[in-house]
Structure 1
Amino acid sequence: ITPASMMIIFLSITIGTIMTMSSSNWLMAWIGLELNMLAILPIISKPKTTRASEATTKYFLTQAIASAMMLLASTINAWQTGNWHILELKNKFSTTIMALSLMMKMGAAPFHFWLPEVLQGTTLQTALLITTWQKIAPITLMYMISNSIQPTILVSAGVLSMIIGGLGGINQTQLRKTMAYSSINNLGWTITIMAFSPNMALMNILIYIIMATPIFLMMTSASTKTLQNLSTTWTTSMTMTISIALLMLSTSGLPPFTGFMPKMLILNELISHKLTTLATLAI
């Protein structure tokens, strides 16, 4: 891929996300997501390997299904209400389908299956892009329609994401898969609190993006892809290895790191809504 092509691709990814975030119309939001999705495909398939091709195919198919669901939901809603406005999502069936499609877009459980596989099949820089930037647009849309979505759906998907993210990352030696499950787990927290405090959900995902970015950048710098690589990095760059370890602890929400703060606030919010059992389960 030539530098000019890369510039066009990254511009398309940026414009797609911004278009989705700034639109008030479902069709424009959908076009933005499509532009974003089509632009990232060449980046995922850039390493000329079968694994990269597989990752590209999986990403494309999943995102295409999610886009189709999104278009179906918005069309049904427009048919019922005569309105394409994002905030006018009144039809319950449409709202449910839309919520599920956005969960599939961002890789939340039970539609998480593609994320670890895609990350494993691509480079660390692309993995960074998928786990951070690519989540912004769907989360923004979910934030906009959070009042319409039934809390049961959000909480169920959130708890499932937490469980799968937590358990999935336990036995991993591949750092990209570990980060994928970490992303799923964090999305669980974000989606759960989206039902009660959307602003807190945005804060949570923003902090996660801020923490995940340096992890991926340092892993790229050290060419670290497995835990074994990480253990050997200690001899060449002790500071970087310690930083990666501390940042990973932070993403897991361990006090006194930054990642603990949003989780504590989320737990506090859940308890204030008399959801102590859910808060306990989240821990």
Structure 2
Amino acid sequence: MNPWVMFFLIASLGLGTTITFASSHWLLAWMGLEINTLAIIPLMAQQHHPRAVEATTKYFLTQATAAALVLFATTSNAWMLGEWQIQQLCHPLATSITMIALGLKVGLAPMHFWLPEVLQGLDLSTGLVLSTWQKLAPMILIYQIAPTLDQGALVLIGLVSALTGGWGGLNQTQLRKIMAYSSISHMGWMIIVLNYSPPLMLLNLLVYIVMTTSAFLTLKTVSATKINMLATASTKAPLMMSIAMLIMLSMGGLPPLTGFMPKWMILKEMTKQDLPLTATIIALAALLSLFFYLRLCYSLVLTSSPNTNNSKTPWRAKINTPFLLLSITAALSLMMLPITPTVIALMT
């Protein structure tokens, strides 16, 4: 793709998210969501492969449906109450439809069916953008309308998403589908705590973006798209794969890694809100996700190819990928747990 076209599309992605962040009017927020969608579609279809075009078409239809629902719900709210402000979405019908539409945009269960299929058809770079940057604008809108949403419904959506993300990833062999189900599970953790502690949801979103970025970058470094492709990766880049293993364990929420921090704090908040059954169910859902992360770890560092390879080329291969972003995100994914008391102090 032409560098100027690429620059224009990336700038449009940033512009769409910024407009949604800065808007207090539903039409401006909707316009930001549409700019985001239209900017990423050429990036998704740039491979000119039938699978990529299929994924792009599915994504466009899904996002167009969600955008139409947002526009319908907010117009209905303005018609009935005369109010276009984002935080004044008060009519029950409008709030319910808007939550369904935004859940469809980020891939919350049971509106998640498009996400694994779309992510499977993309390359790892575009999949990274879809899994991280494209979540920001809808999640900020959900954050703003959270006080008008029913707490029980949010808890139910969060539990269903966490369980779906865990169950769905168990029998997957495609890494991009595993990352899609991981995204669904993490979205469930964010939604379940949204009404009880909004800053904790934002913290979880930040940690999720950091961990997902480092995971995608490590997979891209060794060009791995299937689990069996990880079996020989440890012989090509042993240090990189050791770091990738720790990143996967961090995404699973194991201490003393960064991913343990938001899960621990969410379980603590659920217990504080007198919801021990909810905390127990979502903790068990985390065990399901941990299983397929451990499968990845096993393939990353505990297996090697049984075939004899006399070529010197793949062994300790020199990787020419820029490491700055990967180094920063990997360090943050592994070593942020000690600052948990500071984070708690800032949120209280």
Q: TM-score range by the shorter chain?
A: over 0.9
Give the structure 2 partner of residue 207 of structure 1: 207
The reply on whether 1:12 has 2:19 as its aligned counterpart is no
The reply on whether 1:122 has 2:128 as its aligned counterpart is no
> Per the alignment, in what secondary structure is the counterpart of residue 13 of structure 2?
helix
Give how far 1:156 is off.
1.2
TM-score, normalization: structure 2? 0.80
Q: Which moved more, 1:34-43 or 1:221-230?
A: 221-230
Give the structure 1 partner of residue 288 of structure 2: none
Per-residue deviation, residues 52-78 of structure 1 (Å, max 9, x unmatched): 011001100110110011011100111
Alignment of 1:104-143 (within 5 A): 104-143=104-143
Aligned counterparts of 2:135 and 2:274: Cα–Cα separation in 1: 30
Conserved 8 A contact 1:116-1:180: yes
Conserved 8 A contact 1:182-1:252: no
Conserved 8 A contact 1:99-1:142: yes
AA in 1 matched with 2:48: K
Alignment of 1:162-173 (within 5 A): 162-173=162-173
Q: Percent identity?
A: 47
Give the structure 2 partner of residue 78 of structure 1: 78
* Structure 1 segments (4+ residues) deviating >2 Å: none
Aligned counterparts of 1:136 and 1:73: Cα–Cα separation in 2: 21
Give the structure 2 partner of residue 29 of structure 1: 29
Give how far 1:195 is off.
2.2
Alignment of 1:1-283 (within 5 A): 1-283=1-283
Tell me, which stretches of 5 or more residues in structure 2 are unaligned?
284-348
AA in 1 matched with 2:2: T
Aligned counterparts of 2:189 and 2:181: Cα–Cα separation in 1: 13
Conserved 8 A contact 1:162-1:185: yes
Give how far 1:245 is off.
1.5
> Per the alignment, in what secondary structure is the counterpart of residue 233 of structure 2?
helix
> Per the alignment, in what secondary structure is the counterpart of residue 146 of structure 2?
coil
Per-residue deviation, residues 173-215 of structure 1 (Å, max 9, x unmatched): 1111111100000000001111211111111011010111011
Give how far 1:231 is off.
1.4
Give how far 1:230 is off.
1.1
Aligned counterparts of 1:145 and 1:197: Cα–Cα separation in 2: 14
Aligned counterparts of 2:169 and 2:257: Cα–Cα separation in 1: 20
TM-score, normalization: structure 1? 0.99
> Per the alignment, in what secondary structure is the counterpart of residue 110 of structure 1?
coil
Aligned counterparts of 2:243 and 2:230: Cα–Cα separation in 1: 11
Per-residue deviation, residues 16-69 of structure 1 (Å, max 9, x unmatched): 001001100000000000000011000111111110011001100110110011
> Per the alignment, in what secondary structure is the counterpart of residue 71 of structure 1?
helix
Aligned counterparts of 2:198 and 2:236: Cα–Cα separation in 1: 43
Aligned counterparts of 1:170 and 1:249: Cα–Cα separation in 2: 16
Conserved 8 A contact 1:146-1:194: yes
Give how far 1:240 is off.
1.1
Paired residues in the alignment total: 283
AA in 1 matched with 2:102: L
Aligned counterparts of 2:207 and 2:26: Cα–Cα separation in 1: 28
Conserved 8 A contact 1:77-1:83: yes
Q: Which moved more, 1:247-256 or 1:133-142?
A: 247-256
Tell me, which stretches of 5 or more residues in structure 1 are unaligned?
none
AA in 1 matched with 2:105: K
Aligned counterparts of 1:185 and 1:175: Cα–Cα separation in 2: 15
Flag the structure with larger Rg.
2
